[in-house]
Amino acid sequence: MTDRRRINGPSGGTSAPIFSKYLAKTPNELLERPTRSRPNNALRKMFLKTGVTPSASGSAYLELEASKNPKSTAPGLSSPSTSGLKLTCTVHGPRPLPKSAPFSPHIILTTHVKYAPFATRKRRGYLRDSSERDLGVHLETALRGVIIGDRWPKSGVEIIITILEGEEDQWWGDGIGHGNTAAAEWGMMSVLSGCITVASAAIADAGIDCVDVVAGGVAAVVKGSAKGPSPNLVLDPVPSEHKEIIAACIVGYLPSRDEITDLWVKGDIGHGNQNEDTAQSASYEELADSAVQAALGSHRVLIAALKETADVKIGRS
Amino acid sequence: MFVLPGEPLEPATLPSHSTIPLKLGPGLLHIPPNTITPTVAGLLRTDKRKNAVWVEFNGGRYVPTTGDLVIATIQRSSVDVFYASISDYTPNATLPQLSFEGATKKTRPQLAFGALVYSRVSLANKHMDPELECVSSSTGKSEGLGPLTGGLVFNISLGMSRRLMLAKPGEQGGLVILDELGEQGAAFEIAVGRNGRVWVDSKSLKGTLAIGKAIQDIDEKSLKVDEQKKLARKVAREI
């Protein structure tokens, strides 16, 4: 449905043009794909802070460090490097439902995920499209199992996530006629994992009763990395760092109860006991376990951020 | 001790008493038979005398509980009940017109929109709108409750209002501002509501504003005891 109410900006790229003096001397230097320098089981550095929006009941901001081309000589912003992930989340509620709403014995959770128009390399519109609605449904599934809904009958809580900078689905250089087929939406997987973590921090900031602290983690089976041609299992994948992603999995995990609230696997993967030609490719169970490991890593950052906020808020009494 | 939702609590951290059963305060969930988990992130506090345990977190939302003293603002009145607002995000609470001291069907209190009332929450559960009362149900006397005339009301955080309402705010909560102001000779009247509101009345408008602003400053900047004493001296000079 086209948006006829607003005057939209020109559709197309969102990156600013760069000065030619920062262009590489040889074209090979520029068109080199960024590589993954961290080990397979290491996550990117995460910054998480709660209480960024004073007018909301709870809020949080998450930022993952951007991956860079190690050989690029241009200073920070002017190199066409890949982007990191920046998310902000606000929680409003629990607040009473409107009088016209039917009675509900538990709390009604509403999630709203939106990419900012400047968040990805291709400009997005102002109205939510199907991928954003999909993210909202997955986020609601992940959080529904954690919030104790019985304490708030006839009430609703609204969780709004704005993605200020999103993950790319593939390296931009791949799009320039290297023969790559249309990439599936791998960027959305890391974005969803960040959404779960940041929503969990905002809900804890709002003081809404939860059974546990849910954390999001993502893992992928990739091909063609520096470690060799056989498929590898990596945690916290950045889609532009890998030539081909075979399968990816994202979980919402509760560490204290050892439970999973949301699980989403995409790609080409089979069970462990299936006989396959490439015996080294990972199985579905291994992929899900790695995603749980990634969620544990996010959980550590999450509880450190919550403890810091609590120290500031209550430290004096 | 800082706790997170879902963290298992060791029995050693919980108080035990020979006769009184363990009382669970806000922020804890009991899973039968013998698991107690926190449901919010905050500091775990215990009281050995009353055998109570709760999680303290400075949230923004006031949840009405029976027996709390709150400052309510009258919104409108109907045939036999006032509708008063306890907080911005909850439906109005009902305050019967007859639950004031000395009120009969012929003589009811006349409260207009915006009037302030110091009342107690008589009924609060998750299914119904809260109800207030301005008279003690057992004795029939007001015991300090009732309409607040004059003065100004200020918004403070819930944690600050809890500290102000402690039995010994100086020792337990680190608040000496009110005692210091009294020592410096300032004359004022004060009422604190657990819903994050404090009412101050003094002889002059300047004094009222100064005291109210001082309490808000202590809340926002989390001032320590000696800073509070300095602030009290400054405020007393202005009055």
Give the number of beta-carbon pairs within 8 Å between A and B: 84
pLDDT at A27 over 70: no
Tokens of B158: 């819930």
Most confident of A45-54, A81-90, B43-52: A45-54
- Beta-carbon contacts of B32 under 8 Å, excluding residues fewer than 6 positions away, are none
Return the pLDDT at A62: 95
CA distances from B229 to A86, B117, B149 (A): 44, 31, 29
Over 80: is that where the pLDDT of A12 sits? no
Determine whether the interchain pair A213/B42 forms a contact, defined as Cβ–Cβ distance below 8 Å.
no
The 3-state DSSP class for residue B164 equals helix
Query: Worst-scoring range by mean pLDDT, A192-196, A252-256, B218-222?
Result: B218-222
- List pLDDT tens digits, range A253-311: 999 999 999 999 998 887 765 555 555 567 889 899 999 999 999 999 999 999 888 87
Q: How many Å apart are CA A123 and CA A29, to the nearest integer?
A: 27
Environment class of A29 (CB within 10 Å of its CB; exposed 0-12, middle 13-18, buried 19+): middle
Nearest CA in chain A to B160: A317
Residue of A nearest to B92 (CA): A96
B126–A contact, CB cutoff 8 A: yes
The C-alpha atoms of residue A201 and residue A56 are separated, in whole angstroms, by 13
Q: How many residues does chain A have?
A: 317
Distances (CA, A) of B131 to A199, B82, B109, B122: 34, 10, 17, 6
- Measure in Å the smallest separation between the Cα of A105 and chain B Cα atoms: 9
Searching chain A, which residue's CA lies closest to the CA of residue B127? A153
Q: With a cut of 80, say whether residue B166 has pLDDT above it.
A: yes
Instruction: Of A203, A209, A216, give the one whose Cα is nearest residue A90.
Output: A203
**Chain A contact for B2 (CB, 8 A cutoff):** yes
CA distance B234 to chain A (A): 22
* d(C-alpha B155, C-alpha B216), whole Å: 8
Domains, chain B, with CATH or none: 2-56 (2.40.50.100), 69-149 (2.40.50.140), 153-238 (3.30.1370.10)
Among A1-10, A67-76, B5-14, B92-101, which is the least confidently predicted range? A67-76
Q: Which residues of B touch A207 (CB under 8 A)?
A: 40, 57, 59-61
In the numeric block, which tokens belong to residue B239?
């009055």
B144: left (phi over 0), alpha (psi -120 to 50) or beta: left
- How close B192 comes to chain A (CA, Å)? 18
Helix-, strand-, coil-residue percentages of chain A, each rounded to 5: 25, 25, 45
Interface of A with B (CB under 8 A): 57, 94-96, 146, 148, 151-154, 204, 206-213, 254, 256-257, 303, 306-307, 309-311, 313-317
Higher pLDDT, A67 or A218: A218
Q: What is the pLDDT of residues B34-75, one digit of tens each?
A: 888 999 888 888 888 888 898 888 777 888 889 999 999 999
CB A171 within 8 A of CB A158: no
Residue-level pLDDT at B152: 94
Residue B200's pLDDT band, with cuts at 50, 70 and 90, is: very high
Answer whether residue B16 shows pLDDT above 90: no
The count of other CB atoms within 10 Å of the CB of residue B198 is 22
With beta carbons less than 8 A apart as the criterion, state whether B117 and B161 touch.
Answer: no
In Å, how far is B10's CA from the nearest CA of chain A? 14
In this predicted structure, what is the pLDDT of residue B196?
Answer: 92
Q: Report the chain B residue with the minimal C-alpha distance to residue A104.
A: B127
Residue in A120, A113, A169, A164 with CA at minimum distance from that of residue A141: A113
Mean pLDDT of the region B163-178: 84
Question: Strand, coil or helix: what is B31?
Answer: strand
Answer with the residue of higher pLDDT: A166 or A138.
A138
Collect all residues of chain B within an 8 Å Cβ-Cβ radius of residue A152.
126
pLDDT digits 0-9 by tens, B121-165: 999 988 888 999 998 878 878 888 999 999 999 999 888 898 898
In this model, does residue A179 exceed pLDDT 50?
Answer: no
Residue A128 — pLDDT band, cuts 50, 70, 90?
confident
Contact B29/A148, CB-based, under 8 Å?
Answer: yes
Provide, as residue numbers in chain A, all residues whose Cβ is less than 8 Å from the Cβ of B90: 96
Q: Would strands A259-267 and B35-38 be described as parallel, antiparallel, or unpaired?
A: unpaired
Q: Which residues in chain A touch residue B2, judged by CB atoms under 8 angstroms apart?
A: 307, 310-311
For range A224-248, the mean pLDDT: 79
Residue B6 burial by CB count (10 A; 0-12/13-18/19+): exposed, middle or buried? buried
Is A95 in contact with B56 (Cβ distance < 8 A)? no
Share of chain B above pLDDT 90, in %: 31
Residue B81's pLDDT band, with cuts at 50, 70 and 90, is: very high
**Cα separation of A168 and A170, whole Å?**
6
Instruction: Classify B196 in phi/psi space as left (phi over 0), alpha (psi -120 to 50) or beta.
Output: left
Burial class (CB in 10 A: 0-12, 13-18, 19+), A241: buried
Q: CA A190, CA A168: separation in Å to the nearest integer? A: 10
Calculate the average pLDDT of chain B. 88
Query: Largest alpha-carbon pair distance within chain B?
Result: 59
So where are chain A's domains?
Answer: 35-70+78-316
Mean pLDDT of A67-71: 65
* pLDDT computed for residue B180 by the predictor: 87
Q: Which of A120-124, B78-82, B167-171 has the highest mean pLDDT?
A: B78-82
pLDDT of residue B73: 95
- Is B91 close to A313, i.e. CB distance below 8 A? no
CA B84 to chain centre: 16
Q: What are the φ/ψ torsions at residue A244 (nearest 5 degrees)?
A: -145, 130
Q: From the list B2, B7, B91, which residue is nearest A310 (CB)?
A: B2
Paired tokens of A38: 């961290």
- In percent, the amount of chain A with pLDDT more than 90 equals 40
Mean pLDDT calculated for residue range A211-222: 93
Q: CB–CB of B40 and A209 under 8 A? A: yes
Pair of tokens at residue B130: 């809260």
Best mean pLDDT range from A62-76, A261-275, B175-189, B195-209: B195-209
The encoded tokens of residue A158 equal 């609204």
Which residues on chain B are in Cβ contact (under 8 Å) with A252?
none
Pick from B126, B164, B176, B223 the residue to mutate for testing the A interface (most A CBs within 10 Å). B126
| ipTM of the shown complex | 0.71
- Partner-chain residue, chosen from B60, B89, B174, that has the shortest CB–CB distance to A316: B174
Q: Is A207 within 8 Å of B174 when comparing Cβ atoms?
A: no
Query: N- to C-terminal Cα distance for chain A?
Result: 54
Which helix (H) or strand (E) element contains residue A313? helix A284-314
- Asked if B89's CB is within 8 angstroms of A95's CB, the reply is yes
- What's the confidence (pLDDT) of residue B96? 92
- Residue A310 near residue B42 (C-beta atoms within 8 A): yes
A204–B5 CB contact, under 8 Å: yes
Whether B199 has a pLDDT exceeding 60, the answer reads yes
Would an 8 Å CB–CB cutoff place B105 in contact with chain A?
Answer: no
| A35-70+78-316 CATH pick, 1.10.760.10, 3.90.25.10, 3.50.50.60, 3.30.230.70 | 3.30.230.70
Alpha helices in A84-152 (DSSP H): 130-144
Q: What does the DSSP 8-state code read for residue B185? A: T
Give residue A2's pLDDT: 65
Q: Is the pLDDT of residue A316 over 80?
A: no
Lowest mean pLDDT among A159-163, A274-278, B107-111: A274-278
Query: Mean pLDDT, chain A, as a whole number?
Result: 82
Mutate to test the interface with A, among B10, B39, B166 (most CBs of A within 10 A): B39
pLDDT value of position A180: 47
Mean pLDDT lowest for which of A119-133, A162-176, A208-222, A259-273? A162-176
The closest of A255, A256, A257, A237 to A247, measured between CA atoms, is A237
A112 has pLDDT over 90? yes
Q: How far is B170 from chain A (nearest CA, A)?
A: 11
Q: What pLDDT score does B45 carry?
A: 86
From the candidates B29, B40, B158, B165, which should be mutated to test the interface with A, based on the most A CB atoms within 10 A? Answer: B40
Nearest Cα of chain A lies from the Cα of B174 at a distance, in angstroms, of 7
Residue B122 near residue B88 (C-beta atoms within 8 A): no
Q: What is the pLDDT of residue A108?
A: 94
CB A213, CB A292: distance < 8 Å: no
